[in-house]
């Protein structure tokens, strides 16, 4: 009998986590093989591996403990991969040589798939003097553009999609440009951005005081703090960025504030990290620990949770020793502090099984109690490991116990730490769990509410056809198993029906017992007023949160899936409303193809691939609409008959795409991302991973020359046909770049596809 609670769970395992040969032949024959592989790998660093392999296996069994995707996919494979999810890179020096040294380190880290965070506050502002060269500085935003291009280049070379976080202090002279940078849709597309907000700034906002923008002791500008806050809020209201990080609160609470200063986070914000810090993540699945769900005696098994947490802490501590690292500085940092981040998933489902409404005072109190239990068990488990294996190398009892976070711990925990030390400097974090929550049977993600109780997913079959399957939330399926067709009770709520203040209440309740931070999205209705929107952030500040990320659907950010309150299948059930195909067929035409004029303007380009006898000639013809040129058709020719079939195919397919109109710049990105396993070639001093990537580069050059895209590695510049698609944006989200389904949704600060698990954050 399958261990998977839903078909989507098995599909995610097969696609993301199953160990396979290079040709795709499975090595893990079953999910039990995957659990055994992980358990054996993490037990291998113990003095007695045989004593720990089985307890580790039992923790993984039935998806109770869910190590993050890197561990699940990489542990025990024998491949040189990092088991850490994300990194904050080194402090950027304020010098050209230092900046590009940091760029190189970022590229090396991203090449191994690591998401990265950077604080750009250390770079002097635009217009500042550059001593010795009689020039003005270009400012941190210009170097962020370089990082953005690097990330796109790493993607094009065949690695996984990159994810980056950029932060800037609220007192940096270029903060206003930073705040509005993402208003240009073609700029910084590989970055999430967040403002580092200080306590002093929040006090100035509340007092309507002035605020100095300073670099290296020099005051460049003075603004009104409330005006700057409103600029941050307006950009976030319109574009969902920047996020807000309460950086002084993070540093004050940090157990290691005597040994480090934090100025950046990983891409989703749940791990504030020092220079070269790395995040190692895992989650306990609360939904699997509820006994007698939907009954008067329903409860979460606290003893089982405690046992699971203690085992998970040991597994994660072992992962520090089992992992490889992109850079030696990252390895040294990880071993010096042994920082880990154990969190939860399935919280909303567990609350539902106990009859508690997410966002209510009772649910917040229960959440706080569960997170306190997890924190206590985590810290006591780490103390036990310190007694057995030694404390983390930088441990100092008095300053450690004097940190803001440790001051709130129970006396017995503090006494144990003082007497025996602790193995891991920080232990808890609530990370995005979008993909692993699907793998665990579509449990609710992290501490988020249920997004949709069910939705229809189209699955691509081996023969090319698509079948539909219904994906049901874990708790909803549990209700049906227990109660049959009985309507869902009123306490079943979802992300769209909750008020923003209820979201904040749940984040604040969890934050009290999380020593790092939390990845959480505060969903706001599209029609929320600006003043009410600002109040959400002030509530987050006043209630002790370490940061705040909101998502308000609009024409810029894209709409989320709509939710209907009733369905014919189950009265009271909320269900994602997915548009159905038009009657009579599966094909929905987005618009009529553009008509071809008698004559077109165009250019022909010669592409000479090294070691190839014959050149490839690429002709691109353009059509003029509204006074603007846009690509209309492509012809690819070569005397080399080896290329004949695929050049004809490319000619037809790309031309068909171009003739549909709209934003077709994605063709460039897709072609440039193709790499040849036999190796690429160096052309004009630049490494090109395949002939197809070279063709993509030629098309990109042409699109830049006609003004269709803004520049190399950038997106759409202006397109008069961009809004011809007459679909109701209120009924679907953005299309997923991986599977094409309109099921992209904002989860834990990251656009994630509920159909295939694709995540913008990797």
* CA nearest to 533, candidates 238, 750, 216, 253: 238
Number of other residues whose CB lies within 10 A of the CB of residue 722: 11
User: What are the distances in angstroms from CA 56 to CA 28, 318, 355?
Assistant: 17, 11, 31
User: What are the distances in angstroms from CA 432 to CA 128, 281, 429, 519, 759?
Assistant: 39, 10, 10, 6, 10
Number of other residues whose CB lies within 10 A of the CB of residue 227: 13
Q: Please enumerate in sequence order all residues whose Cβ is within 8 A of that of 489, keeping only pairs 6 or more positions apart, or say none.
A: 355, 572
CA-derived radius of gyration, the chain: 26
Alpha-helical segments (H) within 296-346: 302-322, 328-337
User: What are the distances in angstroms from CA 70 to CA 17, 73, 442?
Assistant: 9, 5, 19
Residues β-bridged to residue 747: 750
88: its two tokens: 């904050």
Residues β-bridged to residue 118: 166
Residue 409: left (phi > 0), alpha (psi -120 to 50), or beta? beta
Neighbour-count burial of 639, counting CB atoms closer than 10 A to its CB (0-12 exposed, 13-18 middle, 19+ buried): exposed
CA atoms within 13 A on the CB side of 204: 20
257 assigned to active site: no
* Distance from C-alpha of 255 to C-alpha of 271, rounded to nearest angstrom: 13
Out of 53, 105, 260, 270, the active site residue is 270
| Beta strand 243-246 pairing with 218-224 | unpaired
Residues β-bridged to residue 342: 282, 428
> Residue 173 belongs to what H/E stretch?
none
User: What are the distances in angstroms from CA 257 to CA 25, 253, 394, 713?
Assistant: 48, 8, 12, 39
> Residue 563 belongs to what H/E stretch?
strand 563-564
Neighbour-count burial of 723, counting CB atoms closer than 10 A to its CB (0-12 exposed, 13-18 middle, 19+ buried): exposed
Out of 192, 257, 266, 424, the active site residue is 266
637 assigned to active site: no
Out of 170, 268, 279, 736, the active site residue is 268
Read out DSSP for 11-62?
Answer: HHIIIII--B-TTS-BS--SHHHHHHHHHHHHHTTSSSHHHHHHHHHHHHGG
Q: What is the 3-state secondary structure (H, E, C) of 259-300?
A: CCCCCEECCCCCCEECCCCEECEEEEEHHHHEECCCCCCCEE
* CA nearest to 157, candidates 533, 692, 527: 692
* Distance from C-alpha of 147 to C-alpha of 104, rounded to nearest angstrom: 10
Q: In angstroms, how far apart are the furthest CA atoms of the chain?
A: 86
| Beta strand 243-246 pairing with 191-197 | parallel
Residues β-bridged to residue 687: 682
524 assigned to active site: no
Q: Please enumerate in sequence order all residues whose Cβ is within 8 A of that of 77, keeping only pairs 6 or more positions apart, or say none.
A: 19, 37
CA 11 to chain centre: 20
* Distance from C-alpha of 536 to C-alpha of 552, rounded to nearest angstrom: 12
Inter-residue contact 434 to 748 (CB < 8 Å)? yes
3-state secondary structure of 67: strand
Active-site residue numbers?
266, 268, 270
């Amino acid at each position: 009998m399958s261990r998977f609670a839903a078909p989507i769970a098995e599909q995610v395992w097969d696609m993301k986590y199953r160990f396979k040969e290079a040709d795709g032949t499975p090595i893990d024959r079953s999910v039990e093989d995957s659990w055994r592989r992980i358990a054996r790998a993490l037990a291998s660093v113990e003095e007695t591996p045989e004593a720990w392999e089985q307890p580790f296996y039992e923790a993984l069994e039935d998806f109770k403990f869910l190590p993050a995707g890197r561990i699940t996919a990489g542990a025990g494979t024998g491949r040189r991969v990092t088991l850490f999810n994300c990194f904050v890179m080194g402090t950027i020096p304020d010098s050209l040589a230092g900046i590009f040294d940091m760029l190189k380190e970022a590229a090396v880290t991203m090449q191994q798939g690591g998401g990265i965070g950077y604080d750009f506050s250390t770079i002097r502002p635009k217009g500042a003097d550059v001593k010795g060269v009689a020039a003005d500085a270009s400012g941190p935003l210009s170097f962020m553009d370089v990082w953005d291009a690097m990330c796109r280049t790493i993607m094009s070379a065949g690695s996984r999609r990159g994810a980056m976080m950029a932060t800037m202090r609220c007192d940096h002279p270029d903060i206003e440009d930073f705040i509005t940078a993402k208003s240009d849709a073609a700029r910084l597309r590989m970055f999430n951005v967040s403002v580092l907000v200080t306590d002093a700034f929040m006090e100035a906002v509340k007092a309507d005081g002035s605020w100095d923008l300073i670099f290296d002791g020099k005051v460049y500008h003075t603004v009104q703090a409330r005006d700057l806050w409103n600029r941050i809020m307006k950009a976030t209201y319109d574009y969902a960025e920047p996020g807000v990080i309460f950086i002084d609160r993070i540093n004050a609470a940090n157990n290691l504030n005597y040994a480090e200063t934090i100025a950046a986070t990983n891409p989703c914000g749940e791990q504030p990290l020092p220079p070269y810090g790395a995040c190692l993540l895992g989650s306990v699945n609360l939904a699997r620990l509820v006994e007698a769900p939907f009954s008067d005696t329903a409860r979460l098994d606290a003893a089982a949770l405690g046992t699971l947490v203690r085992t998970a802490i040991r597994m994660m501590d072992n992962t520090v020793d089992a992992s490889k690292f992109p850079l030696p500085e990252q390895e040294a940092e990880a071993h010096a502090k042994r920082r880990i981040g154990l969190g939860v998933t399935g919280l909303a489902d567990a609350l539902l099984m106990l009859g508690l409404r997410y966002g209510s005072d009772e649910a917040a109190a229960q959440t706080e109690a569960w997170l306190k239990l997890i924190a206590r068990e985590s810290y006591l488990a780490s103390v036990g490991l310190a007694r057995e294996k030694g404390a983390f190398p930088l441990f100092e009892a008095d300053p450690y116990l004097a940190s803001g976070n440790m001051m709130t711990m129970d006396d017995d925990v503090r006494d144990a730490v003082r007497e025996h030390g602790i193995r891991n400097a920080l232990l808890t974090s609530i990370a995005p769990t979008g993909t692993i929550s699907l793998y665990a049977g579509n449990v609710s993600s992290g501490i988020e509410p249920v997004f949709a109780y069910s939705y229809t997913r189209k699955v691509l079959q081996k023969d090319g056809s698509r079948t539909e399957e219904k994906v049901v939330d874990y708790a909803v399926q549990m209700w049906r198993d227990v109660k049959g067709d009985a309507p869902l009770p009123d306490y079943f709520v979802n992300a769209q029906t909750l008020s923003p203040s209820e979201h904040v209440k749940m984040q604040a309740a969890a934050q009290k017992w999380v020593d790092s931070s939390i990845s959480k999205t505060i969903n706001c209705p599209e029609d929320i007023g600006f003043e009410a929107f600002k109040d959400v952030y002030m509530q987050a500040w006043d209630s002790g949160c370490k940061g705040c990320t909101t998502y308000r659907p609009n024409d810029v950010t894209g709409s989320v899936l709509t939710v209907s309150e009733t369905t014919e299948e189950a009265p009271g059930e909320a269900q994602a409303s997915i548009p159905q195909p038009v009657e009579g067929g599966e094909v929905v035409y987005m618009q009529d193809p553009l008509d071809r004029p008698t004559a077109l303007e165009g250019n022909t380009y010669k592409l000479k691939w090294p070691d190839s006898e014959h050149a490839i000639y690429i002709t691109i013809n353009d059509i003029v609409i509204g006074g603007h040129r846009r690509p209309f058709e492509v012809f690819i020719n070569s005397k080399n008959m080896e290329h004949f079939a695929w050049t004809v195919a490319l000619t037809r397919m790309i031309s068909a795409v171009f003739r549909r109109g709209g934003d077709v710049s994605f063709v460039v990105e897709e072609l440039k991302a193709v790499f040849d396993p036999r190796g690429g070639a160096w052309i004009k001093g630049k490494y090109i991973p395949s002939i197809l990537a070279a063709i993509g580069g030629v098309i990109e050059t042409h699109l830049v020359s006609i003004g269709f895209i803004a520049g190399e590695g950038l997106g759409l510049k202006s397109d008069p046909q961009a809004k011809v698609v007459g679909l109701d944006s209120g009924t679907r989200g953005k299309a997923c770049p991986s599977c094409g389904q309109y099921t992209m949704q904002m989860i834990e600060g990251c656009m994630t596809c509920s159909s295939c698990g694709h995540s913008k954050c990797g």
